Amino acid sequence: MLGVGFIEIAIGLYLLMGKNAIWQSVALFWLSSNFMFYRIASDILNVKLCPCLGTMSQNLPFSDGQISAALIAVVLYFFLGSGALLLKRWSEAGSGELPREFSLRTS
């Protein structure tokens, strides 16, 4: 769990300080898809390994259902928004090729 937390923090810092909007969208798309898969798997398996927001949700004036719905909405917003940005950029590149920004090559 600690390693996952560090990855989430690293991606958050990259989203705040990164310079390449394409790679920021890729990072957000990847992270939000992981959140979605985790949520779906935990619902299917009926396993609650890690409560979202930890114990902070107990101090909020909302029910667990409201907090869960809000978190799902945020994850869907991140997933669909970053996915739409990536598809738009890909379609702008034309001819089915990936945009130059997706290349890991420096030359």
The yes-or-no verdict on residue 99 having pLDDT over 70 is no
Among 26, 27, 20, 29, smallest CA distance to 101 is for 20
Question: Distance between CA 66 and CA 60 in Å, rounded?
Answer: 11
The predicted pLDDT at position 106 comes to 52
The predicted pLDDT at position 82 comes to 92
Question: What confidence tens digit (pLDDT) does each residue in 6-63 have?
Answer: 888 999 999 999 888 888 889 999 999 988 888 888 888 888 766 666 677 777 888 8
Mean pLDDT of 70-97: 84
Pairwise pLDDT comparison (67 vs 16), residue with the higher score: 16
Residue 25 contacts by C-beta under 8 Å, 6 or more apart in sequence?
82, 85, 86, 89
Question: Distance between CA 57 and CA 76 in Å, rounded?
Answer: 20
> Global pTM?
0.74
| Residue 16 half-sphere exposure toward CB, CA atoms < 13 A | 6
DSSP state of 54: T
Confidence at 83, pLDDT banded by 50, 70, 90: very high
- Which two tokens mark 81? 């928004």
Contact, 26 vs 99, CB < 8 A?
Answer: no
Mean pLDDT of 85-90: 86
Confidence at 78, pLDDT banded by 50, 70, 90: very high
The alpha carbon dihedral of 59, 62, 64, 66 has a sign of: negative
